[in-house]
Amino acid sequence: MIVGFSRMRIRVFAVVGVWCAAMVAVASHSGLLASQQAQPRPAAPASRPAPVQPVSSRAAAAPAATVQPDALVKQYCVTCHNQRLKTGNLALDGAELTNIPATAETWEKVARKVRAGQMPPAGVPRPSQADLTSLVAHVESAIDKAAAANPELRGPAIHRLNRSEYANAVRDLFAVSLDVAAMLPPDEEAYGFDNNATVLGISTSLMERYLSAAWKVAGVAVASPKITPSLETFRVRGDLSQHDHVDGLPIGTRGGIAISHYFPVDAEYVISPRLYRETVNIIRGLELAHELEVTIDGQRVGLAAFGGPKDEQANYLQPTLAGDEMEKRFQVRMPITAGLHTVTVAFIKKSSATTLELLQPFGRERIDPITPVGIPELDRVTLEGPFKPAATSASSPSRRRIFVCEPAAGQDAACASKILTTAARRAYRGPLNEAETRRLVGFYDEERKKGGSFTDGIEAALRFVLVNPRFLFRVEQDPANVAPGTVYRIPDLELASRLSFFIWSSIPDDELLTAAEQGRLKNPLVLEQQVRRMLKDERANALAANFAGQWLYLRNVRGHSPDPDVFPDFDHNLREAFQRETEMLFESIVREDRSVVTLLDADYTFVNERLAKHYGIPNVYGMQFRRVPVTDDARRGILGHGSILSLTSYNNRTSPVTRGKYVLTNILGTPPPAPPDNVPPLDETPGKQQSMRDRMESHRRNPACAGCHKLMDPIGLALENFDGIGMWRSTDNGAAIDATSQLSDGTTVNGPAALRKAVLQRPDVFARNMTEMLFTYALGHGVTYADMPYVRGVLKDSARGNYRFSSLVVGIAKSLPFQQRRSES
């Protein structure tokens, strides 16, 4: 008996040993540090934590805990994490529970894994949830106490405006809308966001681009009559289907494009549509007569007939010539006033009937570039101009914004100075000193001396504003009277910039700037009132585009190209709808100040006809988006969105691993480490059709892979009912989908709804990850373990209101790292 018993113990140890080895890979990850949740939670109903019931003192959690933290670590952790095995590069047998803050980096990692239910791993002895919660609370409160006594804060840093910030700043300064993406290159990201001070460097080619952008922007801003004509081409994507109505185009049309364009001056412009020509320049569908309509702001300005026997024949005989001739008919040359106008070019819709060749046409129209059969489609529209510009463009919105005074006779200089200092104060996010004003106005004077007009003078000075380091960089500096290494509150003006770049990705508006100049922003009430005002402003949509766009990887949707052979229905219309849906959900959470958890379990969403069809939601017609209730439990929240489901797939199949990794990284904040370098080949028999599950299971039999894949795969497998473009399916490779899997904490899930519910068992884990991301974005630098006490501070307050979006933003705005700094030593 005794012999048998000890043998059994040995076997248990052997199993644990294998586990430890497998986990080496898991925990060795040292890149993104951030820990999970510190909120002590009531331990009672252990199996099912209440959604969010914050408790302010640790004492409330204590009664349920039965094992002291140090005993718990000894009993459950050091079996693997000891000096000898160093599983996951972590040894806890030497770690001092009595001096946690000294090894905070390690303990934050421990807390994060435990909090997310990933440690101890399934299959090894596990303490009660209450004991685990108590351990985490013990660790985190020790770290937080130490941080409160001696805050870890950064020094000042220079942030270059990134491309979106530059674009928004120009928009807000001059009331113009320009395609800045064509003027400036995309920025590098670090820690997941492209507003990170470390990587926002400057190069000569970038400097060159700033200089040429300054010429362009300043010319448009003053509506200079000297702007030389140029060509702007707007292409219709090849994978945009044009057999039906396209959002933004007039009712009763099909296909085409809507162009929102800022016309710089009152002048004549030429609009030239071009039809799609297949590989030998044949224009499709000419056997029938068609009409192409051009409108500006909803008014028809051109209608041209084409097609029919004559055009068809000409096109076959001399494709290029005939095409060019037809396009001349479409061309419109006309006077257009300065400002933003919507130009549309579309076909008059004749019938919804599609071509006869296919019994069941694909969703995507132009899937074959060779066939001459089909309907005419728009390929591109060129805008050319300005021609014969007005000397003064009275209708220019930017002139109205900039020219805050009219120069009276002999008073030119005073008015110019007023115009320029007003614009520069906003551009520089603060007042100008005397030397700066002199230099700025000097540009105006110089231009006038050379014989330039008043407008020319203003334009010359604005160019200087646009390449000035005070505009291009957000400069922070230690005040002269602060001793090195001292913690101090940042000046109100810097705080105003931090707020506006955080919430609007742009410069402060006049109200915020004035509050800062008057020194009122340091008053927490004023601060909170400003934050709430800013969140209600339309400019806060920048949070969806830039924060959610990057945090959730939504920006990847535009680069995702599913294989048309596998997904013949996927077209650009759907791609755009995917991105829009998720952005709109995020915007609704900001606007309606909902709990951020809504992102995961919203019982509503936003669809248009194309997307509704994709999801099988009936009775949605037309291309405009509208809010609809989500009745299918599997579709609730972003894990049921086509955007997330497709950007986590390969272009020809799903990838449960990628989906699992996405949930671990972007939702739970526990990214798995990179795969080991030498990935052993899967044992696959060529030619044998295997289901995804079979293939993955063979993968997990390899101990080198198992550690991480046991975390990732079950999550991804639970989502297998969604195909590579997020459409519901019940079979894969002919085999029925089995979406049942066991998560790392032992929970069994059987599909997307169950997975979502399992994730929502720990809403605090999600909220914490989002807060950490929002912190990173707000501060523009990587959040490390040393910042975690502040993240927890924000969460603690936010949890009381069930994580309303505004509470996270207000919390961050009031946090120490946002408000204070340590001077350079």
User: Which residues inside 599-638 make contact with another protein, applying CB under 8 A?
Assistant: none
Tally of residues, the chain? 825
Q: Which of 565, 621, 688, 689 binds another protein (CB under 8 A)?
A: 565
Q: Which of 76, 166, 403, 464 binds another protein (CB under 8 A)?
A: 464
Task: Identify the residue whose tokens are 């408000």.
Answer: 819
Residue 307 token pair: 């097609």
* Footprint of another protein on 786-815 (CB under 8 A): none
Among residues 740 and 823, whose Cβ is nearest to another protein?
823
Among residues 235 and 536, whose Cβ is nearest to another protein?
235
Q: Which stretch binds another protein (CB under 8 A): 136-144, 265-273, 465-473, 588-596?
A: 465-473
* Footprint of another protein on 280-319 (CB under 8 A): none
Q: Write down the least CB distance from residue 590 to another protein, Å.
A: 20
* Footprint of another protein on 649-668 (CB under 8 A): 650-652, 662, 665-666
Among residues 302 and 669, whose Cβ is nearest to another protein?
669
Q: What letter would DSSP give residue 285?
A: T
Q: Which of 45, 618, 629, 681 binds another protein (CB under 8 A)?
A: 681
* Footprint of another protein on 688-717 (CB under 8 A): none
Whole-number Å distance between alpha carbons of 340 and 175 = 10
Q: Write down the least CB distance from residue 240 to another protein, Å.
A: 11
Q: Write down the least CB distance from residue 209 to another protein, Å.
A: 7
* Footprint of another protein on 343-382 (CB under 8 A): 380
Work out whether 673 is an interface residue with another protein (CB under 8 A).
yes
Residue 439 token pair: 């230099």
Work out whether 320 is an interface residue with another protein (CB under 8 A).
no
Q: b/e per residue, 273-288, with b = 16+ CB within 10 A?
A: bbbbbbeeebbbbbee
Determine how many CB atoms are found less than 10 A away from the CB of residue 423: 22
Among residues 224 and 744, whose Cβ is nearest to another protein?
224
Q: Write down the least CB distance from residue 564 to another protein, Å.
A: 7
Work out whether 157 is an interface residue with another protein (CB under 8 A).
yes
Work out whether 731 is an interface residue with another protein (CB under 8 A).
no
The values of phi and psi at residue 644, to 5°, are -65, -40
Among residues 278 and 601, whose Cβ is nearest to another protein?
278
Among residues 195 and 595, whose Cβ is nearest to another protein?
195
Q: Which stretch binds another protein (CB under 8 A): 77-85, 229-237, 390-398, 539-547?
A: 229-237
Q: Write down the least CB distance from residue 94 to another protein, Å.
A: 24
Q: How far is CA 705 from CA 10, 117, 119, 387, 708, in A?
A: 24, 20, 17, 65, 6
DSSP 27-80: HT--SS-----------SSTTS--SS---S-GGGTGGG--S-HHHHIIIIITTT
Cα angle 541, 545, 551 (rounded to 5 degrees) comes to 125
Q: Which of 21, 32, 62, 487 binds another protein (CB under 8 A)?
A: 32
Work out whether 482 is an interface residue with another protein (CB under 8 A).
no
Beta strands per DSSP E along 701-799: 731-732, 735-736, 740-742, 748-750
Whole-number Å distance between alpha carbons of 310 and 397 = 46
Work out whether 186 is an interface residue with another protein (CB under 8 A).
yes
Cα angle 789, 794, 799 (rounded to 5 degrees) comes to 120
* Footprint of another protein on 114-153 (CB under 8 A): none
Q: Which of 70, 93, 189, 517 binds another protein (CB under 8 A)?
A: 189
* Footprint of another protein on 200-219 (CB under 8 A): 201-209, 211-213, 215-216
Among residues 204 and 351, whose Cβ is nearest to another protein?
204
CA-nearest of 735, 761, 755, 726 to 743 is 755
Q: Which of 15, 321, 674, 735 binds another protein (CB under 8 A)?
A: 674
Among residues 205 and 619, whose Cβ is nearest to another protein?
205
Whole-number Å distance between alpha carbons of 396 and 231 = 20
- For the stretch 806-809, contacts whose Cβ atoms lie closer than 8 Å and that sit 24 or more positions apart, written own/partner, are 806/531, 806/532, 806/535, 806/593, 808/596, 808/767, 808/770, 808/771, 808/774, 809/502, 809/503, 809/531, 809/535, 809/774
Q: Which of 6, 30, 411, 518 binds another protein (CB under 8 A)?
A: 30
Confirm if 282 and 406 have CB atoms less than 8 A apart: no
Among residues 355 and 655, whose Cβ is nearest to another protein?
655
Whole-number Å distance between alpha carbons of 630 and 617 = 9
Q: Which of 75, 83, 233, 514 binds another protein (CB under 8 A)?
A: 233
Cis peptide before 484 (omega within 30 of 0): no
Among residues 86 and 653, whose Cβ is nearest to another protein?
653
* Footprint of another protein on 423-452 (CB under 8 A): 435-436, 439, 442-443, 446-447
Three-state DSSP at 325 gives helix
Q: Write down the least CB distance from residue 705 to another protein, Å.
A: 12
Beta strands per DSSP E along 163-298: 230-235, 253-263, 267-275, 289-296
Among residues 418 and 555, whose Cβ is nearest to another protein?
555
Q: Write down the least CB distance from residue 610 to another protein, Å.
A: 20
The contact pattern for another protein, residues 524-563, with x = CB under 8 A and - = no contact, is --------------------------x--x-xxxxxxx-x
Q: Which stretch binds another protein (CB under 8 A): 10-18, 75-83, 462-470, 802-810?
A: 462-470
CA 196 to chain centre: 14
* Footprint of another protein on 234-253 (CB under 8 A): 235, 237-238
Q: Write down the least CB distance from residue 239 to another protein, Å.
A: 8
CA atoms within 13 A on the CB side of 778: 26
Work out whether 682 is an interface residue with another protein (CB under 8 A).
yes
Q: Which of 97, 161, 275, 460 binds another protein (CB under 8 A)?
A: 460
CA 795 to chain centre: 22
Work out whether 75 is an interface residue with another protein (CB under 8 A).
no
Residue 5 makes CB contacts below 8 A (sequence gap 6+) with none
Q: Write down the least CB distance from residue 549 to another protein, Å.
A: 9
Q: Which stretch binds another protein (CB under 8 A): 188-196, 713-721, 758-766, 791-799?
A: 188-196
SS3 string of 120-173? CCCCCCCCCHHHHHHHHHHHHHHHHHHHHHCCCCCCCCCEECCHHHHHHHHHHH
Q: Write down the least CB distance from residue 608 to another protein, Å.
A: 23
